Structure 1
Amino acid sequence: MDYRYVRLLPRAFKRFCIVKAFRTGLPTAFYYIRRKPLLASDKPALFTMNILPPMMTVWYHLATKYLGDRVDITIFDSSGKLNPKEFPEARVHKFLNLYAATKSEEFLRHIAKNRKIGWICDDDMFLLSGEAVDVVEREFADPNIATVSFRHRKWWEFDIDGKRIPPSSSYCIAFNRELVFEKENLHLGPCDGNTHPGISKNPTRYDTFDKANEELLKKGYRCYIVPEPEQKKYWAGFSGLSGPVMLLNYFKKPEQTLSYFTEPPNEKWSSNMLFGVLSGMISICTIQELYTKIKGNPYPLRALPSRDELMKLYEEKKPYMRDDQNLEEVEETSERLRNAI
Structure 2
Amino acid sequence: MSIQSLQPRISVAPMMDWTTKDYRFFARLFNPNIILYTEMVTTGAILFGDAKRHLDFNKEEHPLVLQLGGSNPQDLATCTKMAQDWGYDEVNLNVGCPSDRVQNNKIGACLMAEPNLVAECIAEMQNAVDIPVTVKHRIGIDHMQSYEEMLHFVDTIAKTGCNNFIVHARIALLQGLSPKENREVPPLRYEDVYRLKQDRPNLLIEINGGIKTFAETEAHLKHIDGVMIGREAYHNPYLLAELGQLWNLEAPNRFDIMDQMLPYIAKRMEEGAPLSIITRHILGLFQNLPGARKWRQALSGGNAKTFADVENAIKNIKDAMQRTEEYIQNQQTQ
Bin of the TM-score, shorter chain as denominator length: under 0.3
Which structure exhibits the higher relative contact order, with contacts defined as CA atoms closer than 8 Å and separated by 6 or more residues?
1
TM-score after normalising by structure 2: 0.26
